[in-house]
Structure 1
């Protein structure tokens, strides 16, 4: 039975969807989407200004991935220790300021990398674990859908920020564009999070003498001794590799299939929207079916997409279907991760456990594009790499079937 404080805030209610909206905005303004979706817009300007190579400029993404592998678990620990809202607010401010500092670039590539490193450290509190920690607590019946809607924040940023950055750079220059985009987490993200982002039971705990509640769950030590932790580690290493690898290589994959540049642009245009659809549809399905079984079925779609792209002849309709299938899978990945962690390990140390898995995904996701690029450099084609991706998705999906039934985590008074 829930305590009186939690009874004032039932799960799956309107208050929870307000929190989902705040989480969506916070995630949209964070470290995951803003640098990733704008670096390509700034790269030509920085190359022109300083003579840096594109490889050097794209190296900033590699720097970010490596740093996040280390800071992800630390950010998750901070969420467990201090709560998600304080971590989010501090991280949004510091992330915005460090992003704005890129406007001061003076041609020293090492300083540029150092700025990205600092941005990845202070911005780690804006990653998915912070937002899904709280969203999980507000929902039971509609938990998957809520996570999916909150996670659309990254897709919304991807859809809107590129044209916005192009307008700023074209009309005001790249230095001003860095400042304006860096201000978004502070001007937009901080007020929304401060006003609307609340843990379930927080307001009741303030207005009531009843004890605050927390949802039970495994400690990190217990999780590390649970075979399901290692099943998920193996599965998500393969899944992250196979879902991330095609994305930055997609245009070149289509080029090897003899599509013209205009055709490639039209074919890939739907990728971002399919990512958003994958988050929402995947979350809705997770609420209705056993998550590992649901994962196997959904991951079959990007596996089929990779298989179609690996064929000797690919027509336009097959290419479009493949891109949509890959986008649906990419959108589903983080929904699935957040849902599985909450169901199998609870929320007691959710942030820390999520941070550990984020490291796995960062490693697999960082390795995938490099391997696909190496395959093209050595063979001049992607078919072998794409078929390896098919195998990874199938093996990862099948592996999750070993997770078994959901354990039951009960709420208990906070210490």
Structure 2
């Protein structure tokens, strides 16, 4: 699902930007602003999707997401007016931000206590694998047959490659197969030994913290704010990366930004996808090995360096280094929410809580795309957008680190107040105060 449905809408989107803008007689600002405003619906939908994942079956949700992804790609191929693009963006934004990524993050998290970071990142690294293949394929189809044909081919690939997997294999929780999450069977002594080897705490939060407590906790909202900044960076970079390397027909005016060919840019995008493939697994391991602070540090510094190198699009080394570091930094947005929330606050209401973090990322993406597009229209350069990205990288590091530090206080308070205990899947197993009383 990540290699097809997610990749086609997110990682391959910048390959289509200049062609759609030219054919439908739009500006970059109009394209970015329209599609981003249309995607506002995904903010609300993400919150509902998080709750649905907690309550409904993984097989049914995933199958619907794959089918709808293919239908939307066919719809893009038939678009003939800007409002068609905006309408499709509204629906596809919902599928991507509140659907595929959130769904996979939460479901995989349900199956792992130990090696959670590695498990989530391995599942989500499908976007890197798919991007390595689909970026050059889509570029070649666009160059030879047009962008509409490319959308049709991508839609067929989604159906053929992704649909059989959830239909046959997906389950929401281990208990549906008579199993426990990996690591739930370990004794206290085995957990302490694993902690000694890893160098940080592996203990699960075993009390019901949940949404009714965290909605009033400043640390949780700092975490949400941190992922908003991640989203701003992703929104600015992902939609403009190819245009930054090549040139743009901006409402009839040809603006040479990087001066490289579309084929060369497609190769760089393939490199970027290759880095994502490796970096997602590596960053998940870093979260497991060095804790929340280690993962946040690597992600933030990588985003900062990516935005810095994007300021040099006319060189060969600028886009290459930007692709490498952005390939690392962008992984924070995909694997970070479920890992950090589960580690800091436990499994109670994990779908809803992760939904808030992913919604913040989506909102940040909308802001980043709009601001970068408007800035380009005014300056005829993407450099102002990359400077904003550098600032957001610093704010991202501060917010997420502060949230991790503050999480211990709210968990300790819940324990002191007699909060009920939860099992390995987040279900309450011990009587105690209700969540309303805790709040």
TM-score range for the pair, normalised by the shorter chain length: 0.7 to 0.9
How far has the Cα of 1:122 moved from its partner? 6.0
Instruction: Give SS of 1:347's match.
Output: coil
Match of 1:235 among 212, 226, 239: 226
**Which residue of 20, 27, 34 maps to 2:2?**
27
2:286 matched to 1:285? yes
The number of residues matched between the two structures is 378
- TM-score, scaled relative to structure 2: 0.72
Superposition deviation, residue 225 in structure 1: 1.5
Deviation at 1:216, TM superposition (A): 6.3
1:411 aligns to 2:423 (yes or no): yes
SS of the residue 1:290 aligns to? helix
Contact map agreement 2:15 2:266 (CA 8 A) in 1: no
Change (3 A) 1:367 1:412: closer
The aligned residue for residue 90 of structure 1 is 64
> Match for 1:151 among 90, 111, 124?
124
Distance 2:127 2:8 in 1: 8
Partner in structure 2 of residue 396 of structure 1: 396
2:25 to 21, 33, 53: 53
Structure-2 separation of matches of 1:119 and 1:219:
29
Q: Is the 8 A contact 2:342 2:350 kept in 1?
A: yes
Contact 1:341 1:350 in 2 (8 A): yes
Which residue does the alignment assign to 1:372?
A: 372
Structure 1 length normalisation: TM-score? Answer: 0.76
* C-alpha distance in 1 between matches for 2:257 and 2:145: 37
Moved more, 299-308 or 399-408: 399-408
The superposition leaves residues 358-397 of structure 1 with CA deviations (integer Å, 9 ceiling, x where unpaired) of 2211111221233234334434555554333222212221
| Equivalent position of 1:273 in the other structure | 274
**Deviation, structure 1 residue 218:** 3.5
Gaps of 5+ in 1: 1-25, 206-214
1:288-325 alpha-carbon deviations (Å, 9 max, x no partner): 112134312441133134335558x9964455333311
User: How far apart are the structure 2 equivalents of 1:125 and 1:399?
Assistant: 23
**1:243-392 paired onto structure 2 within 5 Å:** 243-251=234-242, 253=244, 260-262=259-261, 269-310=270-311, 316-317=316-317, 319-392=319-392
Q: Superposed, which structure 2 residues align to 1:173-212 within 5 Å? A: 178-198=151-171, 199-204=173-178
1:210 matched residue in structure 2: none
Which residue does 1:161 correspond to in 2?
134
Following TM superposition, by how much is the alpha carbon of 1:336 offset from its aligned partner in structure 2, in angstroms? 1.7
Contiguous gaps of at least 5 residues in structure 2: 180-205, 247-254, 413-420, 429-439
- Measured on the aligned residues, the alpha-carbon RMSD in Å equals 3.8
CA distance in structure 1 between the aligned counterparts of 2:139 and 2:393, rounded to whole angstroms: 35
Correspondence for 1:72 among 32, 46, 50: 46
Give the Cα–Cα distance (whole angstroms) in 1 for the partners of residues 94 and 237 of structure 2: 27
